[in-house]
Structure 1
Amino acid sequence: MKAIGFKSSLPIEEKESFIEFETVKPTPGEHDLLVKIEAISVNPVDFKIRQSAAKDTVLETPKIIGWDAAGIVQAVGEKVTLFEVGDLVYYAGDITTPGSNAEYQIIDERIVGRKPKSLTIEEAAVIPLTGLTAWEILFDRIRISPEKDKGKSILIIGGAGGVGSIAIQLAKNIAGLTVIATASRPETIEWCKNQGADFVVDHKDLITSVRNAGFQNVDFILDFVDTNSYWDSMVELIKPQGHIASITGSSDPVALNKLKSKSVSFSWEFMYTRSMFQTDDMIEQHNILNKIADLLDSGVLKTTLKETYNGLSAENLKKAHQLLESGKTIGKIAIKF
């Protein structure tokens, strides 16, 4: 089968930052699906791993990355119960196994959902990683409840990005929150409004812009950009007994002591935790993806696809990674095979 990978962590402009190669089509294990991939998407995690996984070395076998895909089930393992050959599926994958930048992929059925019927294959492919991340951070980490939290305020830092785009929709349409999203360019401001944000504020002067929007403090904050860069602003803006959650990680320690006087909670969200550690509730990602598919099919949520490239090629992956690395991406990019 054809695959795209890399042997060394090179700048994306370099000729061999991605290479096309042939490899053996994998065989599914007991709980696995073999999926013929028809579309993929790219996420910041892709370029971060490309930049670090083979630094100062040359791998013997090219590393295949990619963590968003939609396609058709071609074969199933002997203990598979959730899917059959011919099913259309979508998923975000497992960071510990070969990725989706290939014609075929093996994937554990417990982290796979049915493809939304109303979406094209490329519209579906952009949803899984960001949809799972946004759902988990809202409902598993902060544990927001539409019944008790409806009408409360949430600040989403990085509203026009892939995760921010779907988080706005979930926070507004499912949780019933008042959504404040950050954006600074006319096109990103418009995008956030189209996703359902009630207010769009400027991250360059976060405290002032949030307060100018009429909020002295907010109940919840989601950080999708840079934990430490916004930490003092988040500490200032969060309400006493509020909750801050982040997906971005930090190379420096986070000053959690600054939250003590307000009794504020803080959570990390990492979408790969369940598959990486084979948690007891790993099948929840299957359930969440199916819930999101239902919400997309009923029109409660909409795809966040912004741009599509045609064809599985090193060139298309380079273009997608370059755009992601620029930090100017709006919504999601798909590559249709």
Structure 2
Amino acid sequence: MIIKHRQDMKAVGIKTSLPIDAADSFIEFEAPKPQPSGRELLIKIHAIAVNPVDFKIRQNSAKDTVLDTPKILGWDAAGVVEAVGDQVTLFKTGDKVYYAGDITKAGSNAEYQLVDERIVGRKPETLNDVEAASVPLTALTAWEILFDRIRVSPVKDKGKAVLIIGGAGGVGSIAIQLAKKIVGLTVIATASRPETADWVKTMGADHVVNHKDLVNEVHKAGFTHVDFILDFVDTNGYWDAMAELIKPQGHIASITGSGQPVLLNKLKNKSVSFSWEFMFTRSSWHTEDIAEQHHILNNVAALIDNGTLQHTLQQTLTGLTAENLKQAHRLLESGKTIGKIAIRL
């Protein structure tokens, strides 16, 4: 189904929340090419990547309604700055960039996108477009959860143990690398299949444990308690195990949210800290430190270019089409993907 508008750019979006195999779960349409103002960059997109947040928003943002204008999803992209707003100072036309965008604005599943320059970074020089597009959201999330929420540092935390639940996913794959290579933590990562176990070892995990019997598996690996726990899968599903495994005065952080109250009283006797991480907080609320994401992405690019970090792209599709977005979402919804999936426009 093609919805005709002024023929300025192609986009793929949704008008209602449907199962991924429904005929119109994604639709291709034409939309006006936007024009930048203020601190906005107009970016010609060369590649995009998909994340679990994409299918969660597709499933929930247009329930029991049909939108007049299709909603464009997508929160990972690499491309070139085509035009700049009148207040832009960080970039110029022709700069190669990568970014995760703003969940409150139109997404990256389009030929062009407006993005605030303060949440955009310079593309790693050693990566091609699809490789670069696979990095921003997961790198920002992993960086923020470690350095902004738990506030680990090589000076005070080198050698301490971190348990990463969901080590083979996009965020987990970057978090393992940052924890091991930047901070010097002892990394315990969960994986339940041979291929995922091999992957987290490649990323730098010191120990691999099966999440299906988490407490016993961590104990078998030689740890009574761990200093930090990063949950990238299911906060309440692993809550009892995390409360048991966390060291007194340790820190748990999660990205997954919860439909039910989290029983924080289970952490009281250990004086354990708990933090949420949401990568879109800075852009959604225009926090005073919103430009920190620009600096994080530039730091990540430098770490990639000097060989410290590696991208986690595992599968590439070609073409901005409804069918390719369906395929990418279908794979993510299976819960069995390793690393990232990207689409070359």
TM-score of the pair, normalised by structure 2: 0.97
1:129 aligns with 2:137: yes
1:59-208 to 2 correspondence within 5 Å? 59-208=67-216
Deviation at 1:328, TM superposition (A): 0.5
Which among 271, 274, 278 is matched to residue 270 of structure 1? Answer: 278
Secondary structure, in 3 states, of the residue corresponding to 2:183?
A: coil
Indicate which of 288, 300, 319 corresponds to 2:308: 300
Q: Which of 301, 312, 337 matches 2:320?
A: 312
Q: Which amino acid aligns with 1:82?
A: L
The RMSD of aligned alpha carbons is: 0.4
Q: Secondary structure at the match of 1:288?
A: helix
Mapped partners of 1:271, 1:85: distance in 2: 27
**Matches of 2:248 and 2:303 in 1, distance apart?**
33
Secondary structure of 2:71's partner? Answer: coil
**Displaced runs of 4 or more, over 3 A:** none
Give the secondary structure class of the aligned counterpart of 1:140: helix
1:324 deviation in Å?
A: 0.4
Shift of 1:107: 0.2
Query: C-alpha separation between the residues in 1 aligned to 2:143 and 2:195?
Result: 25
1:211-260 per-position Cα deviation (integer Å, ceiling 9, x unaligned)? 10000100000000000000000000000000000000000000000000
Q: Paired residue for 1:44? A: 52
Q: Tell me, which stretches of 5 or more residues in structure 1 are unaligned?
A: none
* TM-score, normalising length: structure 1: 1.00
**Corresponding residue number in structure 2 for 1:9:** 17
Residues of 1 paired with 2:140 and 2:22: CA distance? 32
Shift of 1:29: 1.4
Q: What CA distance in whole angstroms lies between the structure 1 residues aligned with 2:246 and 2:336?
A: 27
Indicate which of 206, 219, 235 corresponds to 1:211. Answer: 219
| 1:227 and 2:239 correspond | no
Partner of 1:334: 342
The 3-state SS of whatever aligns with 1:16 is coil
1-side partners of 2:50 and 2:327: how far apart? 11
Distance 1:70 1:146 in 2: 31
Residue 34 of structure 2: aligned partner = 26
Question: Partner of 1:49: helix, strand, or coil?
Answer: helix
Between the two proteins, the alignment pairs up a number of residues equal to 337
